[in-house]
């Protein structure tokens, strides 16, 4: 088995509206760019993992091959909620680590521009009584009965619960988190939105699900991202420039919900994220204090706050003080979502997991331009998809 796996080439398309391109066009653009970035071709690739959620039954990977090269390699079509891209990458990483091939590729793509709110469940017909049946036993979908299963509502609940438990998390604080991410986005030319917003603009915008206004919600958009990974043995055979730009995957972790009585009804984004983070730090041999930047899954401003805690960037219950200290801004000690996050960069679901990793790699390579975090050598990328799945990757700069 290969000891280490490295990202050789990685890219993302500009996120936003791409009416002239379909899903395969976007995936091809990202895949070919990642191959070029790594200095390899499809002839070198031994496995393809293709992530897509909204067209998951269409065999995206096989269709993609018809545009970038059909070489007879195994294709895995991946769908795992918002963790789809990270899961596709992990699929390629596992194949390389197992010794099945020296080079693997992962692609994530989605077209979501104009999709509106993405619901998490189907509303049941009203009635005076409900009788348990089928595999769900005594568990029924919540939507229209208790709260909501639309994503803005679910994550609004999660943020409000954190504030209720630990204090200090009010409407203005969540808006200031969004203000930070929109400010960061002004330096990211690939973001769907690169607009600085004042606190007043954010708090005064359309309320989606209190305390999340429209600018505090992730932007549904079109986009793709792709990564080429190689074994350490293969990397040693490549030229010095390829080795210099390679980024080590020090940890690749995927978790789901452990059994808890409550999470059979209400999703718990905290436990599986905390479990993933703990495993990732152990696997990489680093701690939160070693991170130079973090790209986390801020599908909503409320989500970013709780994930400070879940990723152990702060002490348990200390997320509010952690944010208020200023450390998460790009000039702070642990910059979070320098890309602008999902609220500004955008959230084409299956592409997000790889795009978050691309952002971290960009800084570790010293290629992030005006938003570069100077001296960055270790970074963490995180995504979570309700259902639930959490992916955490710890990435390290090449030693030479």
Q: Which residues are CB-contacts of 151 (< 8 A; sequence separation ≥ 6)?
A: 117, 118, 119, 120, 299, 300, 386
CA distance 349 to 85: 8
Q: Which residues are CB-contacts of 20 (< 8 A; sequence separation ≥ 6)?
A: none
Task: Retrieve residue 36's tokens.
Answer: 């070029």
CA distance 399 to 213: 43
Say how far residue 56 (Cα) sits from the centre of its chain. Answer: 18
b/e burial code for range 294-331 (CB count within 10 A of at least 16 → b): bbbbbbbbbbbbbbbbbbbbbeeeebbebbeeebbbbe
CA distance 300 to 216: 6
User: DSSP secondary-structure letter at 370?
Assistant: G
DSSP-based three-state secondary structure for 182: helix
Going from the C-alpha of 89 to that of each of 8, 110, 186, 353, the distances in angstroms are: 13, 16, 28, 8
Beta bridge partners of 110: 223
Q: Is residue 376 within 8 Å of residue 293, measured between CB atoms?
A: yes
b/e burial code for range 52-84 (CB count within 10 A of at least 16 → b): bbbbbeeebbebbbeebbeeebebbbbbbbbbb
Q: Would residue 217 show up in a list of annotated catalytic residues for this protein? A: no
Given the residues 182, 347, 382, 393, the one annotated as active site = 347
User: Which of 113, 9, 49, 81 minimizes the C-alpha distance to 350?
Assistant: 81
Q: Would residue 82 show up in a list of annotated catalytic residues for this protein? A: yes
Beta strands in the chain (DSSP E): 5-12, 47-51, 75-78, 103-111, 207-209, 212-213, 222-231, 247-255, 293-295, 378-385, 389-397
CB neighbourhood size of 160 (10 A): 18
Task: Kindly list the catalytic residues.
Answer: 82, 347
């Amino acid at each position: 088995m290969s000891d280490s796996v490295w990202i050789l080439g990685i890219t993302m398309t500009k996120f936003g509206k791409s009416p002239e391109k379909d899903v395969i066009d976007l995936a091809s653009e990202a895949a070919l760019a990642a191959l070029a970035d790594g200095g390899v071709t499809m002839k070198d690739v031994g496995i393809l993992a293709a992530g897509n959620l909204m067209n998951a039954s269409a065999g995206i990977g096989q269709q993609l091959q018809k545009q970038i090269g059909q070489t007879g390699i195994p294709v895995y079509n991946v769908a795992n909620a918002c963790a789809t891209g990270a899961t596709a990458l992990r699929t390629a990483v596992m194949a390389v680590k197992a010794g099945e091939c020296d080079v693997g590729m992962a692609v994530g793509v989605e077209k979501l521009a104009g999709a509106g709110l993405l619901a998490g469940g189907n509303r049941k017909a009203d009635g005076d009584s409900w009788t348990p049946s089928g595999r769900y036993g005594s568990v029924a979908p919540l939507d229209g009965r208790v709260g909501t299963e639309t994503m803005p509502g679910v994550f609004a609940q999660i943020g409000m619960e954190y504030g209720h438990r630990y204090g200090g998390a009010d409407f203005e604080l969540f808006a200031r988190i969004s203000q930070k991410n929109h400010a960061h986005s002004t330096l990211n030319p690939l973001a769907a939105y690169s607009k600085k917003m004042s606190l007043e603009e954010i708090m005064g915008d359309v309320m989606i699900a209190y305390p999340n206004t429209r600018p505090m919600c992730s932007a549904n958009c079109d986009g793709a991202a792709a990564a080429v990974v190689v074994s350490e043995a293969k990397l040693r055979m490549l030229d010095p420039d390829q080795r210099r730009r390679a980024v080590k995957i020090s940890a690749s972790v995927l978790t789901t919900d452990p059994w808890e009585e409550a999470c059979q009804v209400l999703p718990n984004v905290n436990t599986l994220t905390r479990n993933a983070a703990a495993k990732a730090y152990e696997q990489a041999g680093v701690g939160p204090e070693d991170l130079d930047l973090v790209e986390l899954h801020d599908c909503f401003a409320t989500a970013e706050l709780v994930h400070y805690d879940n990723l152990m960037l702060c002490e348990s219950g200390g997320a509010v003080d952690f944010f208020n200290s200023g450390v998460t801004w790009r000039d702070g000690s642990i910059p979070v979502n320098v890309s602008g996050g999902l609220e500004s960069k955008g959230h084409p679901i299956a592409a997000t997991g790889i795009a978050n990793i691309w952002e971290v790699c960009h800084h570790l390579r010293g290629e992030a331009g005006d938003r570069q975090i100077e001296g960055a050598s270790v970074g963490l990328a995180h995504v979570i998809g309700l259902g639930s799945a959490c992916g955490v990757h710890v990435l390290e700069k090449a030693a030479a």
